[in-house]
Chain A
């Protein structure tokens, strides 16, 4: 497992680069504010359709949550880990014993109310057009360990061009009510949230 590292200068360079890149490649990012508890860390659970997901949600965090960004990425990712680990990236190796270490590390990060951890429980990239969102079971290790001391927020991102040359990314967000959750409940609630978000996205006509 590769852990995220701290270096204020490299972190600043990365943050500035990501913000500029998103601004350059997207017409706009659209999202509605959600109610968040300022005293609790955030576990952000999102759909995974591209390498942009983390970058887009990084910008959302900067504008809305204003927490210290962390994201779990696959160890075989094409992103230069030696560099992006300074931006809050830590890795997971699926199907290994090391995986549990990564999940516990994610749960550990959620002890600090200043932190935000982004997880993609789908485990791999899927088309932006999927109907069903299936989670890997590992997400529950983080949810259970973090318990009530963190707030879970669902995110669903969709990309559309419409009348602009550059695409617009719409990010739907929803706070999950606190209380114990089973894996099935988590998957069903995310699916419902995803279906509602997709329905809103589908209604767009200009």
Chain B
């Protein structure tokens, strides 16, 4: 497992640079109204449908949720993109004994209310049109190991174009409760309900 070697000034520069890149690539990045619980760290569970997802996580952490970003990445991906290690990237290797170590490491980070950990709970890239969100069992293990107050947030990013030739990203955020207070099966059910709500809200979104 590769732990994060987050350097605050590098992370700040990267967040600003990525906002510039994203504003160039997207017509609008619209974050739906959401209030994070003060004094809580955040476990940000995101839908994984694109190359951009990690950057959406970074964007949310820095500009909207105001926490220090840490992001769980596949081991081979982090090895190839080693620079992300300095922006908060740490690795996980599915199906190995080290996986447990990565989950415990993520839980440890969430003991600090200043931190935010981005996890893609589906564990693979799935269609942006998918109506079901499968959550890997490892998330349960991660949550059980969190000792400090931690809010679980589901982020569903949906892409639409409407009147622009550039895509717009609509980020729907949902509060899934506090770690330790929501049983895993309920969490999975709630995330699926939230995901369906995001899809419904997207149809009605103003453009």
Chain A positions within 8 Å of B, measured between CB atoms, are 21, 25, 49-52, 78, 125-131, 158-165, 167, 198, 201-206
CB atoms of B163 and A160 under 8 A apart: no
A50-B51 contact in complex given A162-B125, A202-B130, C-beta closer than 8 Å:
no
A25 with B165: CB separation less than 8 A? yes
Is there an interface contact between A129 and B162, defined as CB atoms closer than 8 Å? Answer: no
Q: Once the chains are docked, how many angstroms separate the CA of A78 from the CA of B141?
A: 52
Q: List 15 A-B contacts (CB under 8 A).
A: A25-B165, A49-B160, A50-B161, A78-B163, A126-B203, A127-B160, A129-B158, A129-B203, A158-B129, A159-B159, A160-B129, A161-B50, A162-B127, A165-B51, A167-B159
Using known A-B contacts A202-B129, A203-B127, A206-B124, determine if residue A128 contacts B51 with beta carbons closer than 8 Å.
Answer: no
Tell me, in angstroms, the Cα distance from A4 to B130 when the chains sit together. Answer: 39
8 Å CB contact of A128 from B52, B130, B160: B160
- Please provide the chain B residues from 153 to 181 with a CB less than 8 Å away from any CB of chain A in the complex: 158-165, 167
For window 113-130 of B, CB contacts with A under 8 Å fall at 124-130
Question: A99–B47 Cα gap in the complex (Å)?
Answer: 43
Mostly, the A contact residues are loop
Q: B202 an interface residue at 8 Å Cβ cutoff? A: yes
A182 to B50, CA, bound (A): 41
Report the separation of the CA atoms of residues A164 and B203 in the bound assembly, to the nearest whole angstrom. Answer: 25
Which of under 10, 10 to 19, 20 to 34, or 35 or more describes the interface residues of B? 20 to 34
Most B CB atoms within 10 A — which of A129, A167, A201? A129
Structural contact, A205 and B126, CB atoms closer than 8 A = yes
Closest-by-CB residue of A relative to B198 is A129
Chain A residue with Cβ nearest B127? A204
Cβ-neighbour of B203 out of A127, A167, A206 (below 8 A): A127
- Given A125-B207, A198-B129, A204-B126, is A50 in contact with B49 using a C-beta cutoff of 8 Å? no
Complex Cα distance, B124 from A198, in Å, reads 20
In Å, the complex CA distance between A199 and B121 comes to 22
Chain A residues within an 8 Å CB radius of B193:
none
For residue A2, give the distance in angstroms from its CB to the closest CB of chain B: 19
B205 touches A127 (CB 8 A): yes
Q: Give a binary string over B129-159; 1 marks a CB under 8 Å from any A CB, 0 the rest.
A: 1110000000000000000000000000011
- For B162, list chain A residues within 8 Å (CB): 49-50, 125, 127
* Residue in B51, B165, B203, B207 whose CB lies within 8 Å of A163: B51
By the criterion CB–CB under 8 Å, are A162 and B49 in contact?
A: yes
Least Cβ distance of B77 to chain A in Å? Answer: 11
- Residue of B124, B165, B205 contacting most chain A CB atoms (<10 Å): B165
